Amino acid sequence: MTMCHTEVNGIKIAFDIRGSGPPLILIMGYRLNSRAWPLASRCSIGPSPPVSQDLSMKRLVYVINGPNLNLLGKRQPAIYGHETLADVEAACRRVATERKLELKFHQSNREYEIIDWIHEARETAAGIAINPAAFTHTSVAILDALNAFDGPVFEIHISNVHKREAFRHHSYVSSRADGVIAGFGTQGYTLALQRLAHLIDETAAKKDKGGSATDLGS
């Protein structure tokens, strides 16, 4: 093992620079995941991160849909409209292309799958737009998963939940969300994506000017 040492912002970093594969990066004795790449790339030793991984970390966003949203267009159209989830996905993909975002679009009726996607996003994504549907009003587990995600989170509801039954007025997710869109119909999804794109662009611009690239919250 060939270890090189350096220090970034007072943090001692050691690299194993054997061979041609990615370096083993140790920070204060811990082996880190891909989140260490931006830090590693600022060091003067070790290979640069693969470009595709770096780009996708900056521009990948998740759109996550909860239970019963697979029935969009058929389910209570007076409340949720006539558009299907496929229509919503197509609209999101149009915005993603315009704003140069990479998009993962998911729906599940199972709470654990939604939690697993949020965990996956933790490793790879810049932001999350989520319509947790009925889990909004019940799921501490989804709140906990979102609390473990560092980037911006936007909560979407097609209907105005505050105009509806009292049990829909409380959201576990809102205490984590950076913004909530309710009652804008399916347009809420593209509005949330536009906001995510804006925050990501702003962060990239700050990084280009040499500022901190870690704060996507403002």
Contact between 70 and 108 under an 8 Å Cβ cutoff? The reply is: no
Residue 116 is which amino acid?
A: D
Q: Is 157 a catalytic residue?
A: yes
Choice from 161, 177, 196, 216 touching ligand DQA (CB under 6 A): 161
The least distance separating ligand DQA from the CB of residue 176, rounded to whole angstroms, comes to 16
Q: By CB under 6 A, tell whether 159 contacts ligand DQA.
A: yes
- C-alpha separations of 42 from 13, 53, 84, 134, 167 in Å: 12, 15, 45, 43, 49
Question: If phi over 0 gives left and psi between -120 and 50 gives alpha, with beta otherwise, what is residue 65?
Answer: beta
Residue window 112-151: x/- pattern of binding to ligand DQA, with contact defined by CB under 6 A: -------------------x-xx-x---------------
Can you list the positions of beta strands (E) in the chain? 3-8, 11-16, 24-27, 30-31, 60-65, 102-107, 127-131, 153-157, 179-182
Choice from 168, 195, 206, 207 touching ligand DQA (CB under 6 A): 168
Q: By CB under 6 A, tell whether 153 contacts ligand DQA.
A: no
Residue 101 is which amino acid?
A: L
Q: Which residues, 6+ apart, have CB-to-CB distance to 205 below 8 Å? A: none
Q: By CB under 6 A, tell whether 177 contacts ligand DQA.
A: no
Active-site residue, from 62, 157, 172, 189: 157
Kindly write down the DSSP assignment for every residue of 20-31, as one continuous string: SSPPEEEETTEE
Q: Which is nearer to ligand DQA, 56 or 70 (CB)?
A: 70
Residue 85 is which amino acid?
A: L
- The span of 39-47, 120-128, 157-165, 190-198 binding ligand DQA (CB under 6 A) equals 157-165
Can you list the positions of beta strands (E) in 51-101? 60-65
- Six-digit token string for 108: 């599940």
Active-site residue, from 80, 106, 119, 170: 80
Q: Which is nearer to ligand DQA, 15 or 189 (CB)?
A: 189
Q: By CB under 6 A, tell whether 158 contacts ligand DQA.
A: yes
- Six-digit token string for 211: 């500022």
Q: Is 112 a catalytic residue?
A: no
Residue window 34-73: x/- pattern of binding to ligand DQA, with contact defined by CB under 6 A: ----------------------------------x-----
Pick from 104, 61, 85: which is nearest to 186 by CA? 85
The least distance separating ligand DQA from the CB of residue 133, rounded to whole angstroms, comes to 3
Q: Which residues bind ligand DQA (CB under 6 A)?
A: 68, 131, 133-134, 136, 157-159, 161, 168
Q: Please identify every residue annotated as catalytic.
A: 80, 157
